[in-house]
């Protein structure tokens, strides 16, 4: 279908979300096209998690619209094209589950409702486990894995469906350095395969080289959308290319607007140069 192929992979138009009484997203418009690796940045409470959850139809809109592959999210049914890695402390619940069992549930969209798992489904699960480097631990309890490994289990779960769009919500939060590097390698392979990525990040970390576009959210509004690493101040944030780190609320201005004085990281970096 040429119409959907040329349509943006994920898009929001004037999306507004109110949770309780509090506006969380205000008039957000964005469009992610196929093959992009988009980093969604912002401080805690800036609405970046809510934005990706809204795009996926998990949070109701108060105004505007969101779409996936050209179809309004509310009517979207092609879920095997989407892989989602939620923000999560761990992958364990009340009843034990093996690593493989958790990853297998990521194949359900491809497998189809009320269908038996085929050999291809099982191979895809094994493949996803190998991609994140956990094939040897497939039969172990998820709860016995470290936080970083559990995060990799959730990434493998999203990969098991071979998605065209992978949405990751802070995949590196609380994750050890080894798992972060393993994750960056996984992302590199996905980018080569042509997967579109939308990644919510607090710290860019080892992903910096792979990101093609950066969107910065502040108080529910997009303050920057474009070049990944413009050195210096971007939309209320000081983006420090040396440390791949975004500093929230950087200025001394009473309205939080840029007044020319970089935050604590700025002068330090200037001294370093």
Partner 1 sequence: MSILHYDFMVRALIASVLVGLTAPAVGIYLVQRRMSLVGDGIGHIALTGVALGFLTGQSPVISAVVVAALGAVAVELIRSRGGASGDVALSLLFYGGIAGGVLLISLAPSGGNVNLLGYLFGSLLTTAPSDLIVMGVLAVAVLLFTVGLRSWLFAICHDEEFARVSGVPVRLLNILLAVSAAVTVTVAMRVVGVLLVSALMVIPVATAQQVARGFVATMAGAMGLSVAVALTGAVGSFYLDVPSGASIVVLAVLVFVVVTAVAAAVRVWQRRSAASRSSLPAPAPLPDPVAAEPTGAGLPGR
Measure Cα distances from 50 to 18, 32, 250 in Å: 10, 16, 22
Residue whose C-alpha is closest to residue 122's, from 111, 114, 132, 133: 111
- The distance of closest approach from Cβ of residue 88 to partner 1 in the complex, given in angstroms and rounded to an integer, is 8
Helix then strand then coil, in percent of the chain rounded to 5, is 35, 25, 40
Q: Two tokens at 104?
A: 């297998």
Nearer to partner 1 by Cβ, of 80 and 223: the residue is 80
Among 71, 105, 126, 249, binds partner 1 (CB under 8 A): 105
The smaller minimum CB distance to partner 1, of residues 118 and 212, is found at 118
Binders in 206-245 for partner 1, by CB under 8 A? none
Among 33, 65, 71, 98, binds partner 1 (CB under 8 A): 98
How far, in whole angstroms, is CA 237 from its chain's centroid? 19
The least distance separating partner 1 from the CB of residue 126, rounded to whole angstroms, comes to 16
Binding of residue 198 to partner 1 (CB under 8 A): no
20 near partner 1, judged by CB under 8 A: no
Listing DSSP states for 83-129 in one string gives EEE---S-S--SS--BHHHHHHGGGHHHH-TT-PPPHHHHHHHHHHH
104 touches partner 1 (CB under 8 A): yes
Torsion angle in degrees (nearest 10) through CA of 145, 81, 224, 65: -120
Instruction: Pick the closer one to partner 1 by CB: 111 or 224.
Output: 111
Kindly determine how many residues on this chain lie close enough to bind partner 1 according to the rule CB under 8 A.
Answer: 34
Give the CB-side neighbour count of residue 198, counting CA atoms within 13 A.
27
CA distance 43 to 233: 15
By the rule CB under 8 A, 58 interacts with partner 1: yes
Considering the rule CB under 8 A, would residue 79 count as an interface residue with partner 1?
yes
Which of 54, 66, 156, 161 is close enough to bind partner 1 by CB under 8 A? 161
- Counting contacts by CB under 8 A, is residue 139 touching partner 1? yes
Residue (94 or 254) nearer to partner 1, CB = 94
80 binds partner 1 (CB under 8 A): yes
Nearest to 24 by CA among 75, 59, 71: 59
Inter-CA distances, 118 with 27, 56, 83, 138, 197, Å: 44, 27, 20, 18, 27
249 binds partner 1 (CB under 8 A): no
Q: Residue 140 or 176: which CB sits closer to partner 1? A: 140
- Of the listed pieces 3-11, 39-47, 79-87, 261-269, which binds partner 1 according to CB under 8 A? 79-87
Contact residues toward partner 1 (CB under 8 A) are 53, 56-58, 77, 79-80, 82, 84, 86, 88, 93-98, 100-102, 104-106, 108-109, 111, 113-114, 117, 139-141, 157, 161
């Amino acid at each position: 279908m040429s119409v959907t192929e040329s349509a943006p992979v994920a898009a929001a138009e004037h999306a507004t979300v109110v949770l309780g009484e509090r506006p969380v997203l205000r008039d957000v418009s964005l469009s992610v096209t196929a093959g992009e690796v988009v980093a969604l940045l912002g401080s805690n409470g800036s609405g970046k998690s809510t934005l990706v959850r809204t795009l996926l139809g998990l949070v109701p809109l108060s105004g505007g619209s969101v779409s996936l592959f050209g179809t309004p999210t509310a009517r979207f049914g092609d879920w095997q094209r989407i892989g989602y890695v939620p923000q999560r402390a761990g992958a364990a619940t009340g009843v034990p589950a093996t690593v493989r069992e958790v990853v297998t549930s990521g194949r359900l969209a491809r497998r189809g409702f009320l269908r038996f798992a085929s050999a291809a489904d099982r191979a895809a699960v094994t493949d996803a486990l190998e991609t994140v480097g956990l094939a040897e631990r497939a039969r172990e309890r998820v709860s016995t894995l470290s936080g970083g490994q559990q995060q990799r289990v959730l990434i493998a779960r999203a990969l098991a469906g071979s998605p065209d769009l992978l949405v990751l919500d802070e995949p590196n939060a609380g994750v050890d350095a080894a798992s972060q590097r393993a994750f960056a390698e996984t992302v590199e392979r996905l980018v080569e395969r042509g997967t579109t990525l939308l990644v919510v990040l607090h710290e860019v970390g080892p992903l910096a080289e792979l990101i093609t576009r950066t969107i910065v959210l502040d108080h529910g509004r997009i303050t920057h959308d474009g070049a990944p690493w413009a050195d210096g101040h971007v939309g209320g944030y000081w983006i420090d290319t040396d440390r791949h780190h975004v500093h929230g609320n950087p200025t001394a201005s009473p309205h939080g607007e840029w007044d020319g004085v970089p935050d604590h990281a700025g002068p330090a970096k200037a001294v370093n140069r």
